[in-house]
Amino acid sequence: MTRGVLAGVASIALVVGVGLSQGVLGQSPAGEGSKKQAGGVPTFLVDPGWPEKLPNNWVTGVVSVVAVDRRDQVWILHRFRTVPADRKDRTAPPVLEFDANGKFVQGWGGPPDAYEWPASEHGITVDYKDNVWIGGNGSGDDMLLKFTTKGKFVLQFGHRGQSGGNKDTKNVNRPADVFVHAKTDEALVADG
């Protein structure tokens, strides 16, 4: 086939694909928390009542990630070091758990002596066994932490500032996200 014919076939496939996707989007209903714009594309709205107020008049820093576990619990990881100085005394723990309705369940985490907490909190994942994985994307965040859902420390993979690059089998490099494959019970890590 010549390049001209291939380009023509690719163009037709693109036009058909865009047409089909617009048809599908136009037919999909807008869910709760969204409204439909002209053309059928949903716009999502902020629910000012979610989550409920945090206990102890806590405040959060920059929220780096939100995850939902298999029980529909919502997990938030925030960068507690970014809380303004005048509110530091009310800083919430870095890991916050809420139920699906926004009711606060628990908070935990932070830099103790037992493990190396990330310099810049980045990823949180709750796997199929209810293990909570936390990674960072700060300079030297070459470790991945594993906890129970109650915040009990289980394991640390790697150590701060020790990544040897792509061939390193003992340290990660700014782990952005984790997925645990249930069939093989392997943790797949998106290295930064």
Considering the entire predicted model, what is its pTM? 0.77
The per-residue pLDDT for range 93-144, each reduced to its tens digit, is: 999 999 999 999 999 999 988 999 999 999 999 999 999 999 999 999 999 9
Torsion sign across C-alpha atoms 53, 54, 56, 57: negative
Residue 78, CA distances (Å) to 12, 35, 126, 185 in order: 46, 29, 16, 27
Domains of the chain: residue spans and CATH: 3-44 (no CATH), 55-191 (2.120.10.30)
90 or 166, greater pLDDT? 90
Task: Give the other-Cβ count within 10 Å of 135's Cβ.
Answer: 30
pLDDT confidence of residue 126: 98
- Give, in degrees to the nearest 5, the angle at Cα 99 between 97 and 102: 95
Give the N- to C-terminal CA distance of the chain in Å, as an integer. Answer: 41
pLDDT over 70 percentage in the chain: 80
Residues 78 and 90: beta-carbon distance below 8 Å = no
The per-residue pLDDT for range 156-189, each reduced to its tens digit, is: 999 999 999 888 999 999 998 999 999 999 999 9
